[in-house]
């Protein structure tokens, strides 16, 4: 039977909430989300292959130990999960237990390398609920791993670039940049223009550095 | 002088594009760069890469990551226990944010801690801290891989390198640099957004330092095998006009923000 496209596939729950598939209603995972995690759950039947929708535009597919060991068509489910959620970040949460451990490397290879999804192993539903809680609450916090793009002054950088030229130290670099204010200008300078600033030997060394063939 | 350089720059684009393609003759051979500082911790990984996966592992001094598997991907390796505690957090944050400035893609391999012979591995309590670190890394776009030990880490690295090779991003530049090129390499590495492997590509692709300095953004992009925004950043720094009154702070390192 053809599965209808789920209505709520792109729904984003309010902050601090998750939308969970109806089948999770009485699970340990959802109870623990509510109890220790302080995350509110909204249940929905029409989530398609997705198990949880999170408010940071990510959605979660949960692969249980039983799914893995029984080989329960989870590959097809994963492909459908990937295809259904192109606008959302797909996270696959996998139960990696003593029983399912042996299948894990193959599973990881498929999920990460072939499908390009994120895979996070957990040992139990309880651990999954702790992980989900951190994903949900983490959104409001500043992410330390995200590189902040701050415009910075390039002057010190150009200064250290000039000092990479053999024979040029701090003093000569500064003197050079007072006359030729960029690397591009310095590179175009003739040896006789450099000589009065840094002396004959260094002028030659600078010219060699820029113009000697590298091959 | 600049007008005479235009035709040269254009002709180089073709050569450079060819230089970035993996050699078609050796599809199975891939190169991985290994940081000399991680060699003690990763010795098992490196020998497995060489012996079991036929990967050319070249040890060199990298830019603050453990492995480089392609022109655009850096791989960091961490023990699971290191990720669970806060002592190591600052170092990891510094390394990851620094790598984001240098590489398009960053991977973190989380390796299971080694148990000593005779020691029973006890399941450690998963900390909230560990989960929040994972969540932050995922949100920052870092790819996570889980490994059961050095053997598995090596297999993952080899797999990543082959995957990148299929996407035309394999490290294909000669890894030995001699003579005048070493000076050019040191200069290139000081440029913003330039990783060791980009600098190697530059040293290979441009006839001289002056050729690189006079190149267009597009030629820089192809010659260094970097993205367009990174090439723009390099271009900008080469043409940036200094104000010498601001020169007193000369100790700044690149990517120091």
Give me the pLDDT at residue B125, please: 75
Q: Is the pLDDT of residue B3 over 50?
A: no
Give me the pLDDT at residue B246, please: 59
In the three-class reduction of DSSP (H, G, I as helix; E, B as strand; rest coil), residue A62 is classed as strand
CA proximity to B106, closest of B54, B160, B56: B160
Cβ atoms B154, B52 nearer than 8 A? yes
Structural domain boundaries of chain A? 1-145, 163-215
Sort out which chain A residues have CB atoms less than 8 A from B140's CB and list them: 143, 145-147
Instruction: List strand residue ranges (DSSP E) for A45-131, in order.
Output: 52-54, 58-63, 89-95, 118-122
Q: What is the CATH number of domain A1-145?
A: 3.40.50.10130
Fold assignment, A163-215: DNA polymerase; domain 1 (1.10.150)
Neighbours of B82 (CB within 10 A): 16
Q: Is the pLDDT of residue B250 over 60?
A: no
Which of A127, A166, A181 is closest, CB to CB, to B183? A166
pLDDT tens for each residue of B172-194: 998 888 888 999 999 999 999 99
Chain A CA closest to residue B131: A131
With an 8 Å Cβ cutoff, is A112 touching chain B? Answer: yes
Is A163-215 the same fold as A1-145? no
CA proximity to B107, closest of B135, B140, B81: B140
Longest dimension (CA), chain A: 85
Write down the residue that tokens 């891989």 correspond to: B145
- Which among B121-125, B169-173, B209-213 has the top mean pLDDT? B209-213
pLDDT tens for each residue of B63-109: 789 999 999 999 999 999 888 888 888 889 999 999 999 999 999 99
Q: Higher confidence at residue B165 or residue B12?
A: B165
* Rounded Cα distance, A168 and B248, in Å: 16
Write down the residue that tokens 């984003």 correspond to: A12
Instruction: List strand residue ranges (DSSP E) for chain A, in order.
Output: 17-21, 40-44, 52-54, 58-63, 89-95, 118-122
Q: Across residues A84-100, what is the average pLDDT?
A: 89
Sorted by sequence, the CB contacts under 8 Å of residue A143 that are 6+ apart come out as B136, B139, B140
Which of B135, B155, B237 is closest, CB to CB, to A138? B135
With an 8 Å Cβ cutoff, is B178 touching chain A? Answer: no
Determine the distance from the C-alpha atom of residue A98 to the mean position of all C-alpha atoms in its chain, rounded to a whole number.
29
Give me the pLDDT at residue A148, please: 76
pLDDT tens for each residue of A37-88: 889 999 988 888 899 998 878 899 999 999 998 886 888 999 999 988 777 8
Sort out which chain A residues have CB atoms less than 8 A from B123's CB and list them: 123
CB contact under 8 A, B184 and A214: yes
Give me the pLDDT at residue B121, please: 63
């Amino acid at each position: 039977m053809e599965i209808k496209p789920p209505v709520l596939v792109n729904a984003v729950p309010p902050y601090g909430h998750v939308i969970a598939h109806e089948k999770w209603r009485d699970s340990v995972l959802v109870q623990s989300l509510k109890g220790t995690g302080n995350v509110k759950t909204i249940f929905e039947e029409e989530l398609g292959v997705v198990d949880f929708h999170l408010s940071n535009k990510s959605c979660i597919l949960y692969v249980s130990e039983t799914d893995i060991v029984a080989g329960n068509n989870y590959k097809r489910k994963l492909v459908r999960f990937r295809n259904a959620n192109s606008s959302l970040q797909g996270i696959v949460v996998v139960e990696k237990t003593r029983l399912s451990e042996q299948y894990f490397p193959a599973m990881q290879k498929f999920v990460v390398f072939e499908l390009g999804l994120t895979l996070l192993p957990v040992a139990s539903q309880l651990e999954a609920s702790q992980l989900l809680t951190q994903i949900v609450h983490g959104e409001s916090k500043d992410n330390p791993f995200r590189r902040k793009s701050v415009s910075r002054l390039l002057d010190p950088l150009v200064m250290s670039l000039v000092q990479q030229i053999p024979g040029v130290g701090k003093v000569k670099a500064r003197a050079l940049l007072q006359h030729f204010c960029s690397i591009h200008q310095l590179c175009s300078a003739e040896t006789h223009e450099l000589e009065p600033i840094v002396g004959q030997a260094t002028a030659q060394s600078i010219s060699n550095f820029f113009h000697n063939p590298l091959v | 002088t600049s007008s005479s350089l235009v035709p040269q720059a254009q002709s180089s684009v073709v050569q450079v594009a060819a230089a970035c393609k993996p050699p078609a003759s050796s599809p199975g051979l891939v190169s991985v760069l290994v940081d000399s500082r991680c060699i003690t911790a990763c010795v098992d990984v490196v020998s497995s890469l060489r012996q079991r996966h036929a990967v050319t592992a070249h040890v060199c001094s990298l830019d603050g990551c453990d492995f480089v598997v392609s022109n655009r991907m850096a791989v960091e390796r961490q023990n699971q226990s290191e990720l669970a505690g806060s002592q190591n957090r600052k170092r990891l944050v510094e390394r990851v944010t620094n790598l984001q400035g240098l590489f398009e893609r960053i991977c973190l391999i989380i390796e299971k801690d080694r148990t000593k012979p005779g020691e029973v591995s006890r399941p450690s309590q998963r900390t909230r801290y560990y989960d929040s670190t994972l969540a932050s890394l995922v949100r920052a776009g870092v790819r996570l891989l889980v490994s059961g030990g050095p053997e598995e880490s090596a297999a993952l690295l080899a797999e990543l390198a082959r995957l990148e090779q299929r996407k035309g991003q394999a490290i294909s530049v000669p890894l030995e640099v001699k003579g005048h090129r070493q000076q050019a390499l040191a200069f290139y590495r000081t440029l913003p957004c330039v990783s060791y492997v980009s600098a190697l590509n530059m040293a290979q692709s441009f006839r001289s330092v002056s050729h690189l300095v006079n190149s267009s953004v597009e030629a820089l992009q192809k010659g260094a095998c970097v993205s367009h925004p990174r090439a723009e950043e390099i271009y900008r720094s080469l043409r940036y006009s200094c104000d010498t009154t601001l020169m007193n702070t000369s100790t700044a390192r690149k990517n120091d923000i």
